[in-house]
Structure 1
Amino acid sequence: MIKDWFYDKLKSDIGEGRYNHSLRVMETSKDLALRYGCSVEKAELAGLLHDCGKFQGDINLLKVAADFDIILDSVMEKNVQLVHSLIGAVLAEREYGIEDKEVIDAIRYHTTGREHMSLLDKIIYIADLIEPGRDFPGVEELRKLAYEDIDSCMLEALDHTIEYVIQRKMLIHLDSVKARNQLLIQKNIE
């Protein structure tokens, strides 16, 4: 359950711009949860806190991860912008008192996805990508697809993200590849 103090703490920690993004992700998550029969309370909570590990200012996320005893794989070490999701999962638990594993996992995997994603995982990943403040080629199609077929949208969202990462000559996290492959296998079975 979202407590009133979450809003002030989050805004102070991540800054106004990212805070406003988080509010939009929370609302989009709620809408998707209503559409697909997922817990609205969990979707709002995970949507609000999904970026709680993205601090404002010049913070060394690798050092924060080490301070929290988070073990990073080689891709995370080289692709530091992914690390905030792992830090966020720890912060959600330690500083916001979140005990629900499903909410914590949705925060943890909102940047990479993972094999056998829960409905909440998919909702948070997609909501982060399609919230109304996002503007990139193909976002309108993703927004439409999100309310038609969440698995097809998740597959398209992963494709979009992987293409983006490839274009920038960055490392692709194995969790994203596994998530995509599992969705493709699932679609071919149906």
Structure 2
Amino acid sequence: MNLEQIIQATKEQMPLSRWEHTLRVRDTAMALAEGESVDLQKVELAAILHDYCKFWPAEKLMAQIKENNLPEELLLYNKELWHGPVGAEIARKEWAIEDEDILNAIRYHTTGRPGMSPLEKIIFLADYIEPGRQFPGIDKVRQMAKTNMDQALLQSLDNTITFLIEKRQKVYPLTLITRNYYLEQVMLQERS
């Protein structure tokens, strides 16, 4: 596995604006990783690959979901969710990445999941708070991410769920489960 080849291949999968987002996610992830017990090479690799399949046609993503026996319930929800799970499978197949932590960081960067590893939290939050993102509530999450990733995760999930409800869109069940899990984590932290 050659990082430069992966970088070039990823860049070719997306428009320039999304590539610039990917680079900002990488930089944000590297900053969030400071002081954490994470391998910086894993952080960079997961950040570079997190949106690898984002601009694939829906039919191609659908075919990959079925071919890789991914949860077919994904197809009942917004196609914006599909590229994470598919991207993890592509990283395994095309780039021989077997590290489950890297694969999970790619797989769950849009939905989250209960019990995320530090690497998964970093990629999830970096994707959410990178400097190119501008929407109500983002600055609060950016501040929280500097001191408590679980609080930042909870706030970002609350923001996402509220946005989806206001737009009358379905909320993926794993996102709700993840939100409730991190609510419990934050409440436990506040009690201790």
Normalised to the residue count of structure 2, the TM-score between the two structures is 0.90
Name the aligned partner's letter for residue 154 of structure 1: L
Report the 3-state secondary structure (helix = DSSP H, G, I; strand = E; otherwise coil) of the residue aligned with 2:147: coil
Alpha-carbon distance, 1:59 to partner: 4.3
Alpha-carbon distance, 1:170 to partner: 1.2
Unpaired runs of at least 5, structure 2:
none
Matches within 5 A, 1:100-111: 100-111=99-110
Distance 1:76 1:112 in 2: 14
Distance 2:31 2:12 in 1: 26
Task: Work out whether residues 117 and 179 of structure 1, in 8 Å CA contact, stay in contact via their aligned partners in 2.
Answer: no
Distance 2:102 2:142 in 1: 22
Report the 3-state secondary structure (helix = DSSP H, G, I; strand = E; otherwise coil) of the residue aligned with 1:95: helix
CA deviation string 1:90-147 (max 9, x = no partner): 1111112211100000110011011111111111111001001111112122111111
Q: Greater CA deviation, 125-134 or 141-150?
A: 141-150
Name the aligned partner's letter for residue 184 of structure 2: I
% identical equivalent positions: 36
Distance 1:31 1:76 in 2: 34
Matches within 5 A, 1:2-21: 3-21=3-21
Name the aligned partner's letter for residue 139 of structure 1: I
* 2:64 matches 1:64: yes
Alpha-carbon distance, 1:64 to partner: 3.5
Q: Hey, what does 2:170 align to over in structure 1?
A: 171
Report the 3-state secondary structure (helix = DSSP H, G, I; strand = E; otherwise coil) of the residue aligned with 1:14: coil
Distance 1:121 1:2 in 2: 22
Task: Work out whether residues 141 and 155 of structure 2, in 8 Å CA contact, stay in contact via their aligned partners in 1.
Answer: yes
Distance 1:67 1:13 in 2: 20
Distance 1:3 1:160 in 2: 34
Alpha-carbon distance, 1:65 to partner: 2.2
Distance 1:187 1:132 in 2: 25
Name the aligned partner's letter for residue 40 of structure 2: V
Task: Work out whether residues 112 and 175 of structure 2, in 8 Å CA contact, stay in contact via their aligned partners in 1.
Answer: yes
Distance 1:35 1:135 in 2: 26
- CA RMSD in angstroms, aligned pairs only: 1.7
Q: Hey, what does 1:114 align to over in structure 2?
A: 113
Task: Work out whether residues 51 and 85 of structure 1, in 8 Å CA contact, stay in contact via their aligned partners in 2.
Answer: yes
Q: Hey, what does 1:29 align to over in structure 2?
A: 29
